[in-house]
Amino acid sequence: AQSVTQPDARVTVSEGASLQLRCKYSYSGTPYLFWYVQYPRQGLQLLLKYYSGDPVVQGVNGFEAEFIKSNSSFHLRKASVHWSDSAVYFCAVRSSNTNKVVFGTGTRLQVLP
């Protein structure tokens, strides 16, 4: 069964700094990988997704993520964060033969002005 690990429960950075949120997945086959963001009192919104091809995928608001198969990782990055990026970020994985999307525990990002 697939699983996702987000080792950092909280990350705090200053506005303008670069960001990396870590995600490692466990799945023996070809995974479909996602990053979602959750703002307070809202549902999750998709940031980006990876299915195949170029391992670096671009998302909304300047976010990108890199699929590294050898490391089973799909870290999220942003070159320069803004205070409005403060939210909870969830990494998720779906296997190619199931309809079930499994989420990580989330990383709460706080951007200091």
Partner 1 sequence: GPKVLQIPSHQIIDMGQMVTLNCDPVSNHLYFYWYKQILGQQMEFLVNFYNGKVMEKSKLFKDQFSVERPDGSYFTLKIQPTALEDSAVYFCASSLTVSNERLFFGHGTKLSVL
Out of 43, 53, 70, 113, point to the residue binding partner 1 (CB under 8 A).
43
> Does 103 interact with partner 1 (rule: CB under 8 A)?
yes
- Beta-carbon contacts of 42 under 8 Å, excluding residues fewer than 6 positions away, are none
Q: Which of residues 80 and 96 has its CB atom nearest to partner 1 in the complex?
A: 96
> Does 76 interact with partner 1 (rule: CB under 8 A)?
no
Which amino acid, one-letter code, is at 99?
N
Size of the site for partner 1 (CB under 8 A): 21
C-alpha to C-alpha distance for 31 and 41, rounded to whole angstroms:
29
Both structure tokens of 19 = 């960001």
Q: What is the CA radius of gyration of the chain?
A: 13
Per the CB < 8 A criterion, the answer to whether 27 and 93 are in contact is: yes
> Does 106 interact with partner 1 (rule: CB under 8 A)?
yes
> Does 46 interact with partner 1 (rule: CB under 8 A)?
yes
Out of 49, 64, 72, 73, point to the residue binding partner 1 (CB under 8 A).
49
> Does 70 interact with partner 1 (rule: CB under 8 A)?
no
C-alpha to C-alpha distance for 23 and 48, rounded to whole angstroms:
14
> Does 64 interact with partner 1 (rule: CB under 8 A)?
no
- Distance from the Cα of residue 21 to its chain's centroid: 7
Q: Which residues bind partner 1 (CB under 8 A)?
A: 32, 34, 36, 41-46, 49, 51, 90, 98-106
